[in-house]
Amino acid sequence: MQASNDHILVFDSGVGGLSIIGHLRQQLPQASICYLADNAMHPYGLLDESVLINRVLEVVAKAIAQQQPDIVVIACNSASTLVLPHLRAQFSMPIVGVVPAIKPAALHSESKVIGLLATPGTIARDYTDELINDFAIDCDVIRLGTNKLVQLVEQKLAGEKIALAAYQQVLEPFAQHPLWPQADTVVLACTHFPLVKNELATALPHIKYWIDSGEAIARRVLQLRQTAATEASTQKSQTSATPAGDIALLTENGSVPDNLRQTFKNYGFEQINGL
């Protein structure tokens, strides 16, 4: 049973985490959601690991103190693969991360040739190697790391018109792999990428399955909230703030372009504040 005042903090470096908002609203329609974007330091894929860890801890800690969420979703692959242990050691509420959806991709793929589309940091992490070894050992996984696609998504959601050729250029390195014509599945291992899935599918028409983590994240959040409601429905901290409804927080809020403001509104965030 879901508590009526469930409050979820969803964090990403930019707009990428919006790709899971619809899944969360479907699974937890009564919950209020705070969307936190560290747009002042975007993109995370370009940061050194130590800088990224310290930055996420700082920004998320500030938002938790302000919002008092019941659960935190780190909707960023670059951050999740590095920062989750640090956050979980510091905070008592459940913290859900996002990892490349390699396991479901391996189950879906018929040809057993899979494209892995992510940021360069995620592509190179030991955690990604472990996922492939654990769940896709029978597959050929073709990796492509790109920060450019993240930038294209940010530009699109800010209202810019992006030509299909720009997406094709980003994806072109896939074609350099000799097994690429056999690929039937691509893992969208950055939360930004599902926001342009239609464009990617147009650029790569032979790909049958596009797999991301949005639905799995929402199911995990629902499971955790149901468990909490069952086990500790009367133990919610008396100092917790009453959620004020859906809100977006930006670390750089000096001037939000009208098109970006409309994008947040389209995802249910009428109010945009600075953190």
Q: Which residues are part of the catalytic machinery?
A: 76, 190
Q: What is the rounded CA–CA span in Å between residue 71 and residue 92?
A: 9
Query: Residue 223 has which token pair?
Result: 């499971």
Distances (CA, A) of 16 to 72, 91, 110, 175, 194: 16, 24, 29, 26, 8
CA–CA distance, 139 with 185 (Å, rounded to integer): 11
Strands 32-37 and 247-250: parallel
Q: What share of the chain is helix, strand, coil (3-state, %, to 5)?
A: 50, 15, 35
Q: Are 85 and 100 in contact (CB under 8 A)?
A: no
